[in-house]
């Protein structure tokens, strides 16, 4: 696993490096599942494949404690998605989260991420929500569930309305759909992968990495 260099690297430098990686890769992989073991097993495989933009589901019992353990070992922690309050985001950041995908736009969440120099994709779906998330100062806006509003066509409409806002379609999707979102102008994509089916998840890991 990747080792941290926190002693030599300032929060601002780490933040800038995160942005460089996001804009080069343009692919987050969000991992959910029934247990910490499933998710961390998948996380380890993705790190072995050299993919750094990975977030784990905050709602999984015990995930924050295991992230703290990873941090204590000096290894790079994943980001977190499905965090909904400033308290949850604070716990995730203290556990080493490098990226936050929140469920919605929230002033306290945004303030905490900006203060700690942590990349934030705030959740939104409607034009009003997208506008509010951007006004609060989120780095990007996570469009979830994007497929519920029409997928690529909805993304195109939002880009037409807000050409300067960085939009990240977030949902269960295929590698082909992820490619379509990127071609349509998405800042990045964030497919959600369920780790309960280990073999299917492993196949999708490589498909997403290879096709984007």
Cα distance between residue 152 and residue 178, in whole Å: 9
pLDDT at 206: 77
Rg (CA), the chain: 16
Q: What is the CATH number of the domain that holds 114?
A: 3.20.20.70
Q: Is residue 58 one of the residues assigned to a domain? A: yes
Q: Mapping DSSP to helix (H, G, I), strand (E, B) and coil, where does residue 119 land? A: strand
| Residues spanned by the domain of 99 | 18-204
Q: Is residue 124 one of the residues assigned to a domain? A: yes
Q: What is the pTM of this model?
A: 0.93
Q: Which of 200, 178, 9, 205 is nearest to 98 (CA)?
A: 9
Q: Is residue 148 one of the residues assigned to a domain? A: yes
Residue with tokens 């509003």: 149
CA distances to 7, 17, 109, 123, 165 from 151, in Å: 42, 30, 27, 15, 17
Beta carbons of 164 and 172 less than 8 angstroms apart = no
Q: Is residue 1 one of the residues assigned to a domain? A: no
What is the full DSSP assignment across 181-198? HHHHT-S-BEEEEETTSH
Q: Is residue 2 one of the residues assigned to a domain? A: no
Q: Provide the number of structural domains found in the chain.
A: 1
Q: Is residue 122 one of the residues assigned to a domain? A: yes
Cα distance between residue 58 and residue 72, in whole Å: 19
pLDDT at 188: 98
pLDDT at 199: 75
pLDDT at 204: 80
Q: Mean pLDDT per 10-residue run, the chain (212 residues)? A: 56 95 96 94 90 96 96 92 98 97 98 98 98 98 96 98 98 95 98 86 78 70
Q: Is residue 6 one of the residues assigned to a domain? A: no
Q: Is residue 200 one of the residues assigned to a domain? A: yes
| Chain-centroid distance, C-alpha 65 | 19
């Amino acid at each position: 696993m990747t080792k941290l260099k926190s002693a030599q690297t300032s929060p601002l430098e780490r933040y800038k490096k995160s942005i460089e990686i996001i804009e080069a890769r343009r692919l987050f992989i969000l991992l959910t599942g029934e247990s910490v073991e499933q998710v961390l097993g998948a996380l380890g495989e993705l790190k072995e494949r050299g993919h750094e933009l990975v977030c784990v589901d905050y709602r999984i019992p015990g995930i924050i404690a295991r992230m703290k353990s990873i941090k204590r070992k000096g290894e790079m922690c994943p980001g977190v998605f499905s965090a909904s309050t400033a308290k949850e985001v604070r716990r995730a950041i203290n556990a080493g989260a490098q990226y936050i995908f929140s469920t919605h736009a929230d002033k306290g969440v945004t303030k905490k991420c900006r203060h700690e120099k942590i990349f934030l994709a705030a959740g939104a779906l409607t034009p009003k929500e997208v506008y509010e998330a951007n006004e609060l100062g989120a780095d990007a806006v996570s469009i979830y569930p994007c497929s519920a509003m029409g997928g690529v066509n909805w993304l195109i409409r939002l880009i037409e309305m807000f050409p300067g806002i960085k939009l990240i379609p977030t949902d269960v999707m295929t590698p082909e759909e992820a490619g379509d979102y990127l071609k349509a102008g998405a800042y990045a994509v964030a497919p959600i992968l369920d780790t309960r089916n280990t073999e299917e998840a492993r196949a999708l890991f490589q498909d997403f990495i290879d096709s984007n």
